[in-house]
Amino acid sequence: MTNQRYKDLPNFKRNKTPTKKIVEQIIYIIVGTVLSLIFLFPILYMLATSTKSESAFVSSAGTIAMFLPDFANLGDAVKNYANVFTEFGIWRYAINSFIYAGIVIVLNVIINGLAGYVMAKLSFPGKKFLSFMIIFLIVVPVETSIIPLYSIVIIMLGLKKTMTVLGVILPAAISIFNIFLFMQFFSNIPKEYEEAARMDGANTMQVFFKVILPLSKPIVATVAVFCFIGVWNDYLWPSMILPTPSAGQWPLLPIQSVVSSIGSMSELTTSERMAALVVTSVPIFVIYVLAQKYIVQGFGNAGLKM
């Protein structure tokens, strides 16, 4: 009688059978595995090719061996990576990228964090219009502003010769998207924290640096990772601003510039090119893996879905 009464209810649904659930899970695992392999194949190919000599690379082309490292001749892998570091000095360009990224991260957290805090917590005339402009500018492609930005940096600011390093750092120090992330995250922080700090005599800057920022580690880590990836992968803008290095001088270009030039050199083997790509990919992979938890938490607390 009880089962019959539940069946007569309009919203009554019978639970899925265990067999159906198992079939769905198997299909989910198979589809997920296939898609993962499709995305991993280029990475496996890059890693495997960087460990081979040119003759081994040619002989493995078109076979499953092209995705497998050559463990029998690890000396070839050492040679490929050694050539990339010694003959082309890729480590110098990597140091440049690390320095640029570190400075840009600090400036982004301070400048964009303060802008996001003002937009989220303070009231002033024109706030709604600025909020609209921030959302509007997020969808504007960066490429559309390269020529005006170049004119501002070179002509108005006069950043030439050795000052061109500032031409790389200053434009990257401000990000509309990062301001939006900070604004969304700070909006979810209870006002009681600020009120308690102000009762203790803290001013606006002290509230931001001593209360708000320590409570915002997830979004700070998210912005830091995005800034690092952006600076590390940046090629077009630094190539326009920074001068070509002269013989005997320390280059100012970031790592992507030398990787691009290495890829166009006919005297290099395919294995050496792939070794250069591996060197540029490893830092991004490591940093993203270490900060993945904070990125997910930062997006979740900011009210965004990944």
Q: Residue 156 gets which letter from DSSP? A: I
* Separation CA 30–CA 35 (nearest Å): 9
Q: What is the CA radius of gyration of the chain?
A: 26
Q: Residue 305 gets which letter from DSSP? A: -
Q: Hey, what long-range contacts does 86-92 have (CB within 8 A, 24 or more apart)?
A: 88/258, 88/262, 88/276, 89/251, 89/258, 90/255, 90/258, 90/259, 90/262, 90/276, 90/279, 92/250, 92/251
Looking at 126-183, which runs of residues are DSSP E strands?
Answer: none
- From first to last of its 306 residues, the chain has per-residue pLDDT tens of 455 554 555 554 555 557 878 888 889 899 988 888 888 888 888 888 888 887 888 888 777 878 888 777 778 788 888 888 887 788 888 999 999 999 999 999 999 999 999 888 888 888 888 888 888 888 887 778 888 888 887 776 666 555 678 888 888 888 888 998 898 888 888 888 888 888 888 888 888 888 888 888 888 988 998 899 989 988 888 888 887 777 677 888 888 888 877 766 667 788 888 888 888 888 888 888 887 777 766 666 555 544
Q: How many helices (H) and strands (E) does the chain have?
A: 16, 0
For the structural domain made of 88-301, what CATH number should be given?
1.10.3720.10
Domain segments of the chain: what residues? 2-73, 88-301
Read off the amino acid at residue 89. Answer: G
CB-hemisphere CA count at 13 Å for 73?
A: 15
Question: How far is residue 189 CA from its own chain's centroid?
Answer: 25
* Separation CA 295–CA 299 (nearest Å): 6
Q: Residue 249 gets which letter from DSSP? A: S
* Separation CA 258–CA 132 (nearest Å): 40
pTM for the model: 0.79
**Tokens coding 117:** 């805090």
Query: φ and ψ at 152, to 5 degrees?
Result: -65, -45
Q: Residue 162 gets which letter from DSSP? A: G
